[in-house]
């Protein structure tokens, strides 16, 4: 029996994107005991994952963490974060480790000089490459998200107008340059004719409240009202998800939902597009503003547009986004 420690400290989407590693390792390495280390705030993401033997939380007390993990006597570390902190941890634990290729040089060349040397490989496959020495291969089953029974959201919780189907609209993103400005989100809600549930955390509550007040009867504001797992339940029950490049996009892909994804300063070529099971007939439309020489300006994002114009979001085709969402909404009712 081999004892593995998988490390991914953050964030929502990145952790969801590691779920094929967890599943494939469990199913393809006989007797594998799988432990997973992440920040405490993200533990709920994996709390019901049946392939994990033990979850470890991290709360910034590095010395205590090392002491605790040394007692586990791991055989291998699978480092899916690969930063200075995980380097220190690997040195401290002193066991054989495998780290995924972050392609930082290639990403820098693309964002700084628009010189594209990135291989056409999704981050999920780069994560899985860390298991090559164990004979593990991609099983093609895509991402997974397991919601605890106690956090499943009943449809009766929603307004009656939304119980026969709704579009899940993810309001925010980690950084401002990855999300539509409020005026453009309002334009999208105005154009959509279907019921809308606005999804997000407490940081998105104000946006959700504004939309709910302005589009009474059409928009239900779920921002900040539900836990992470409950929000995932709302994603799972939506007919369509309209989202920025966010963790909720990856949760939607884990449930094989139709997705309309809106891309601003980042691009799918960075390897973080929605990841579906192999050969799955996915409904996914990527929405970008073509012909912008400034994209991508960052692999993560900024608080404001470095150029000042924010054309990558201000020039998004709202009609196209709404039209694709409406089409997927109709098609999903036939499945």
pLDDT digits 0-9 by tens, 223-272: 999 999 999 999 999 999 999 999 999 999 999 999 999 999 999 999 99
> Cα separation of 110 and 202, whole Å?
33
Secondary-structure class of domain 154-332 per CATH: alpha beta
Fold of 3-134: Rossmann fold (3.40.50)
pTM of the prediction?
Answer: 0.97
pLDDT of residue 281: 83
pLDDT of residue 279: 87
Confidence label for 69 from pLDDT (cuts 50, 70 and 90): very high
Confidence label for 282 from pLDDT (cuts 50, 70 and 90): confident
Instruction: Answer yes or no: same fold for 3-134 and 154-332.
Output: yes
> Cα separation of 146 and 125, whole Å?
21
Q: Which residues contact 254 (CB under 8 A, 6 or more apart)?
A: 16, 19, 142, 143, 144, 145
Count Cβ neighbours within 10 Å for each residue of 185-206 and write b for 16 or more, e otherwise. Answer: bbbbbeebebbbbbbbbeebbe
Domain ranges of the chain: 3-134, 154-332
Mean pLDDT of 200-221: 97
């Amino acid at each position: 029996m081999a004892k593995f420690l998988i490390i991914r400290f953050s964030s929502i989407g990145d952790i969801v994107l590691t779920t094929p590693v967890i599943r494939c390792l469990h199913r393809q390495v006989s007797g594998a005991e799988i432990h997973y280390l992440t920040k405490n705030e993200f533990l709920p993401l994996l709390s019901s994952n049946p392939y994990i033997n033990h979850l470890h939380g991290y709360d910034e007390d590095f010395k205590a963490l090392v002491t605790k993990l040394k007692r586990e006597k791991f055989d291998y570390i699978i480092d899916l974060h690969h930063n200075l902190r995980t380097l220190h941890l690997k040195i401290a634990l002193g066991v054989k480790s495998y780290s995924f290729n972050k392609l930082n040089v290639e990403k820098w060349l693309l964002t700084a000089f628009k010189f594209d040397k990135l291989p056409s490989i999704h981050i999920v496959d780069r994560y899985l490459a860390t298991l090559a020495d164990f004979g593990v291969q991609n099983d093609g089953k895509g991402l997974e998200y397991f919601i605890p029974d106690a956090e499943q959201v009943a449809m009766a919780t929603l307004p009656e107008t939304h119980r026969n189907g709704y579009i899940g609209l993810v309001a925010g993103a980690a950084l401002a340059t990855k999300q539509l400005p409020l005026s453009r989100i309002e334009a999208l809600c105005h154009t959509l004719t279907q019921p809308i549930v606005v999804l997000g955390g407490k940081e998105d509550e104000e946006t959700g409240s504004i939309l709910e007040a302005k589009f009474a009867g059409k928009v239900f504001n779920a921002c900040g009202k539900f836990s992470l797992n409950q929000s995932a339940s709302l994603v799972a029950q939506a007919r369509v998800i309209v989202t920025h490049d966010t963790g909720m996009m990856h949760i939607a892909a884990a449930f094989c939902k139709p997705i309309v994804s809106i891309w601003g300063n980042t691009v799918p070529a960075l390897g973080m597009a929605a990841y579906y099971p192999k050969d799955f007939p996915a409904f996914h439309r990527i929405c970008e503003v073509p012909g912008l020489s400034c994209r991508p300006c960052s692999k993560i994002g900024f608080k404001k547009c470095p150029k000042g114009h924010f054309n990558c979001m201000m020039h998004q085709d709202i009609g196209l986004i709404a039209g694709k969402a409406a089409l997927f909404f109709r098609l999903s009712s036939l499945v």
